[in-house]
Amino acid sequence: MKNHDNHISSYMLNWTVLLVLLMLTTISILAIKMHLGAYTVALALILASIKVTIVLTYFMHLKFENTMLRLMVGGVFLLFAIVIAITFTDYYFR
Amino acid sequence: MNNTSATVPLNYLNHKTGLWSWLSSTDHKRIGLLYLYSITIFFCVAAVLGLLMRIEKFAPGPTIMTAQTYNGMFTIHGIIMIFIVVIPGLAAVFGNIFLPIMIGAKDVAFPKLNLFSWYIYITGACLGLYSQFANGHSPDTGWTFYVPYSAEASSNVVIALTAAFVLGFASILTGLNFIVTIHRLRAPGMTWFRMPLFPWSLYATAWIQLLATPIVGITLLMVIAERTLQIGFFDPTLGGDPVLYQHLFWIYSHPAVYVMILPAMGVVTEIFPTFSQKPVFGYVPIVFSSLAIALVGYFVWGHHMFTSGMSYESRWFFSFLTFLVAIPSAIKVFNWLSTMYGGSVDLKPPLLYAISFIFLFTIGGFTGLTLGSLATNIQVHNTDFVVAHFHYIIFGGMGFGFFAGIHYWYPKIYGRMYNFKWANIAWGFLFIGFNILYFPLFIIGIQGMPRRYFDYDPKFQTGQMISSVGAVILVIGLIGMISNLVYHVRRGAIAPANPWHGVTLEWQIPSPPPHENFDEVPVITHGPYVFDNPHTKND
């Protein structure tokens, strides 16, 4: 596998990402008080997924890695999604 | 052969001495040996528990223990064998010792993390043992910790769950280490398709360890939360769903079967070409069958739950995929037999164990199809048929694969030879004892003998008695095999660097290997199984 230069993120970028993550966390907490019923869980999962994506992209430097590594991480999430989908398909048909 | 050596060259065993040099070593070979010794000790403990259970079942009714003791014993036997012995087993021992050498590296990618993994493993293993004795209430849930019982039982379930959770971390970190090692540290010229097949099997295994283990970790934590904080995940009385637990548990625990068996397949795939002096038949199909087993193996977990109340659609879906996973396994068996066909077969102890592996694994595989079929599954579900099936797969597969591996690589690990005659006799006891122990369980299982029962109907006594006799024969074989290997670590004849005329990289360096494996980094110019024998055709 080819070596590539290390990427150094700027402080500004890291602070911005941190700020976005804190904002999303605040929205997650506020969402509980909005009494959305069954949609509360869906909203919490969507917000958590956005946060995971941001952490992977910037803090874990996936944005600056090569395509192979990105595909491997993507494959992991795809696998996880399939496993969860199969599990809940059982609930749907039961 | 000479039993002594005037000047012993420096190697990984003697370049540093003292207990601390072992406990603090980041040398992958020493860490592999630490795993070997730990796993052997725990295996012996669990084997003794297994023997005691078989003695108990020699006759109907209570014989040497109470029903509650029996429940504790099968639980801790399962926890030790599954989580402490067979899941880490081959990958942690032979993977650690030989993966870097076989790909031409000096060590794994993260040596300190590797040592840390062993300490985590030991912590989890000790917790597992502690759960058996603490407060006088050994866990009695079975190694599967099924809810709602595990959420309600008054025994030491939380400690046992914590043990399994901690052990999972060691597995994840080892898997991560191996993946990075294979990606980053292959010798110059060692392309993916010049890599030997044992590292390939470890690569497929490592992905399962990395991706599946966290799921069971979280699931076990959820059971702990349910017990301690009364959060209703799985317990219906708290609003939970017990079938969800089974889904989450088997999402990990079925792929875990492939964590056990894939490295064993990798070991025998190294042994067949060496003892046939012939290139492995179908290198590329074996590679892809390993990856296919790892991938498809992710999606078959539901076949453990056919009678648990799953939807009909899910049941046929999982049944179909279960049949599908048999294909890559069959490809491997075909390739192993074809590798031996027409070769200069040398029936030394490693090959005896490897051939036994095929025989036992095939029986385990075919009976797996009986269990994977929806109709027959209902008949044999939760009977001794299942016990026989998974022992043929796990012990007959992973166990005999492990025995094959230790007999194959022993001269390289210790620089000494064991006694062949002794090894052959021990193999005979093991192979015969194994079949006498487990085959009758297929029959009484079909007849309706439920598993995990302390007592049984007298009509099953003949099968139970034969099985118990087999257990004694098997244990005699184990004692013979372990004694032979332990005795010759220091007293065996000096082994040459390449006693079996192997062609992979570990056989090109001295026995035992030097501390950093290679004096010079090897440059790879051809595939892994190129033999000099003029009568064989090389890839």
Beta-carbon separation of A86 and B298 below 8 A:
no
- By CB atoms closer than 10 A (0-12, 13-18, 19+), residue B498 is middle
Beta-carbon separation of A94 and B311 below 8 A:
yes
B contacts of A68 (beta carbons < 8 Å) = none
A contacts of B302 (beta carbons < 8 Å) = 86, 90
A contacts of B298 (beta carbons < 8 Å) = 79, 83
Beta-carbon separation of A93 and B312 below 8 A:
yes
- Where residue B432 falls (left for φ over 0; alpha for ψ -120 to 50; beta otherwise) is alpha
Mutate to test the interface with B, among A73, A87, A89 (most CBs of B within 10 A): A87
The per-residue pLDDT for A9 is: 82
Q: State if pTM tops 0.90.
A: yes
Q: Which residues partner with B450 through β-bridges?
A: B383
Beta-carbon separation of A79 and B298 below 8 A:
yes
Beta-carbon separation of A79 and B312 below 8 A:
no
Minimal Cβ distance to B184: which of A1, A82, A90: A1
Contact B39, B405 (CB under 8 A): no
B contacts of A82 (beta carbons < 8 Å) = 299
The per-residue pLDDT for B219 is: 94
Beta-carbon separation of A76 and B244 below 8 A:
no
Among chain A residues, the shortest Cα distance to B179 is held by: A72
The per-residue pLDDT for B1 is: 42
The per-residue pLDDT for B298 is: 87
Mutate to test the interface with A, among B192, B296, B298 (most CBs of A within 10 A): B298
Domain ranges, ordered by start, for chain A: 11-93
What whole-number distance in Å separates Cα of residue B40 and Cα of residue B128?
16
The per-residue pLDDT for A1 is: 42
Tokens of B536: 């064989």
Contact B454, B417 (CB under 8 A): no
Beta-carbon separation of B311 and A87 below 8 A:
no
B contacts of A89 (beta carbons < 8 Å) = 311, 313-314, 317
- Tell me the per-residue pLDDT of A32-49, one tens digit each, with 9 for 90 and over: 888 888 788 889 989 999
At residue B494, φ and ψ (nearest 5 deg) are -60, 130
Which domains, from first to last, does chain B contain? 23-508 (1.20.210.10)
Instruction: Name the minimum distance, in Å, from the CA of A16 to any CA of chain B.
Output: 30
A contacts of B251 (beta carbons < 8 Å) = 83, 87
Positions of E strands within B279-390: none
Minimal Cβ distance to B247: which of A1, A87, A92: A87
The per-residue pLDDT for A65 is: 86
Number of H helices, E strands in chain A: 3, 0
pLDDT below 70 — which residues of chain B? 1-7, 533-539
- Tell me the per-residue pLDDT of B9-63, one tens digit each, with 9 for 90 and over: 889 999 999 999 999 999 999 999 999 999 999 999 999 999 999 999 999 999 9
SS3 B227: helix
- Would you tell me which residues 248-287 of chain B have a C-beta closer than 8 angstroms to some C-beta of chain A? 248, 251
State the first-to-last Cα distance of chain A, in angstroms, to the nearest integer: 47
What whole-number distance in Å separates Cα of residue A91 and Cα of residue A86?
9
Beta-carbon separation of B314 and A89 below 8 A:
yes
Among chain B residues, the shortest Cα distance to A77 is held by: B211
Tokens of B462: 């003949």
Characterize B259-292 residue by residue with b for buried, 16 or more Cβ atoms within 10 angstroms of its Cβ, and e for exposed: bbbbbbbbbbbbbbbbbbbbbbbbbeebbbbbbb
Instruction: Name the minimum distance, in Å, from the CA of B287 to any CA of chain A.
Output: 18
Mutate to test the interface with A, among B211, B291, B303 (most CBs of A within 10 A): B211
A contacts of B313 (beta carbons < 8 Å) = 89-90, 93
Cα-only R_g, chain A = 17
At residue B430, φ and ψ (nearest 5 deg) are -65, -45
Contact B110, B180 (CB under 8 A): yes
- Tell me the per-residue pLDDT of B469-510, one tens digit each, with 9 for 90 and over: 999 999 999 999 999 999 999 999 999 999 999 999 999 999
- Distances from the Cα of B422 to the Cα of A34, B202, B479, angstroms: 74, 31, 11
Instruction: Name the minimum distance, in Å, from the CA of B202 to any CA of chain A.
Output: 17
Beta-carbon separation of B309 and A93 below 8 A:
no
Contact B214, B235 (CB under 8 A): no
Helical H segments across B277-311, by residue range: 283-296
Tokens of B414: 């210790």
- Distances from the Cα of B413 to the Cα of B124, B234, B462, B513, angstroms: 27, 47, 44, 7
At residue A61, φ and ψ (nearest 5 deg) are 65, 25
Beta-carbon separation of B298 and A83 below 8 A:
yes
The per-residue pLDDT for B2 is: 45
